Amino acid sequence: MSDIDIRITGRAGRITLTRPKALNALSYDMCIAIDAALRNWREDDAVDLVILDAEGEKAFCAGGDIAEMYTTGTRGDFEYGRRFWRDEYRMNALIFEYPKPVVSFLQGFTMGGGVGIGCHGSHRIVGESSKIAMPECSIGLVPDVGGSLMLALAPGRLGEYLGITGARMDPGDAIHAGFADHYILQAQWPDLIEMLEASGNAEILADHASVAPDSVLAAEQEEIDRHFGGEALNDVLIDLRNGQTEFSDKALEGIQRSSPISMACTIEMLHRLRNPSLTIRKALEMEFRFTFRSMENGDFLEGIRAQIIDKDRSPKWQFPDMNVPATIVSGMLMPLGADTLKFEEE
């Protein structure tokens, strides 16, 4: 497949995304190929670890390739999107639960579906250009691909902030929020990958890590916790509107771009997930409840139209006053019964 290069080099299983002109956007076929390779290498004694990287300077992976979802969804065919999400989420869980080290090198943009493959492994490397974000609310989705787990585990109310504003994290922020492990200068990456291939030992990465840049989010943590601690979207909006600070004004600006249904459901999801029994599978199953319904009942198709297809950046969201009834949130997050996301291998 020209979009992805899968091979074994030395002691390492290598997965390289090769769509730099498309910012390495993740297609359905790429998901299936990654899943198959990981399952094959899991029991292969010749493979000690897995390395995920990507061609190009601009992005490790800027998200999922969602044009086909729009095309099929606008025809009333929701099954293609549901199958994409179902299989992608299973692949995300496979990376998170993988019994061998998974090392990812995250240059440039890592967003949405890129987080799902790049930020669930055991050793997540960021460099000078890294920008990580979960901007799904701006296209009528919720933070998915297991991102809800990471947001629920982030310090304080950082998860709500990142989830509904889509704010981008630089390397220091990503480490503070739990989306990355090591800051290593990108000039060192090629030699490090060769060393990993030769040794099969991921522990060498820590020896090459530098001190990460200061985290802006860490400095803003107190303000984030104060404004994003409400029970529902409306509580957050009231706190921010009463804030009248540079931070609150900037946060409101980010929120204005996002789907009210998506934001309300994101906050509810994080509140439900944030407990000691949280697992990647619980997070993905909760996300799938929303994405399963997102075309038919949510704002997903309108979000894609405005951002990707027509590019007018003027989505006509449901509940534009941002007063989303609790019944709508409950309906989007209800259990799916027979359609519940399952993780049994097929």
- The pLDDT tens digits for 145-171 are 999 999 999 999 999 999 999 999 999
User: Taking 60 as the threshold, does the pLDDT of residue 262 lie above it?
Assistant: yes
- The pLDDT tens digits for 54-80 are 999 999 999 988 888 999 999 999 999
Give the pLDDT of residue 186. 98
Give the pLDDT of residue 66. 85
Give the pLDDT of residue 62. 94
Contacts of 267 (CB under 8 A, 6+ apart): 160, 163, 164, 230, 232, 233, 236
Give the pLDDT of residue 344. 79
- The pLDDT tens digits for 90-99 are 999 999 999 9
User: Taking 80 as the threshold, does the pLDDT of residue 48 lie above it?
Assistant: yes
| CB of 97 closer than 8 Å to CB of 119 | no
Q: How confident is the model at residue 82 (pLDDT cuts 50, 70, 90)?
A: very high
Give the pLDDT of residue 65. 82
- The pLDDT tens digits for 97-111 are 999 999 999 999 999
User: Taking 90 as the threshold, does the pLDDT of residue 113 lie above it?
Assistant: yes
Report, as an integer, the average pLDDT of 270-287: 96
For residue 159, the Cα-to-chain-centroid distance in whole angstroms is 12
| CB of 124 closer than 8 Å to CB of 217 | no
Report, as an integer, the average pLDDT of 9-23: 97
Place of tokens 């990142």: 162
Q: How confident is the model at residue 51 (pLDDT cuts 50, 70, 90)?
A: very high
Give the pLDDT of residue 68. 85
pTM for the model: 0.96
Q: Which residues pair with 4 in a beta bridge?
A: 17
Report, as an integer, the average pLDDT of 130-148: 97
Give the pLDDT of residue 303. 96
User: Taking 70 as the threshold, does the pLDDT of residue 1 lie above it?
Assistant: no
Mean pLDDT of the chain: 96
Q: Does domain 4-339 have CATH number 3.40.50.10240?
A: no
- The pLDDT tens digits for 308-335 are 899 999 999 999 999 999 999 999 999 9
Sheet (strand 59-61) strand order? 59-61, 109-111, 131-133
DSSP per-residue codes, 88-139: HHHHHHHHHT-SS-EEEEE-BEEETHHHHHHSSSSEEEE-TT-EEE--GGGG
- The pLDDT tens digits for 170-224 are 999 999 999 999 999 999 999 999 999 999 999 999 999 999 999 999 999 999 9
For residue 253, the Cα-to-chain-centroid distance in whole angstroms is 21
Domain boundaries, the chain: 4-339
Q: Which residues pair with 49 in a beta bridge?
A: 12
User: Taking 70 as the threshold, does the pLDDT of residue 47 lie above it?
Assistant: yes
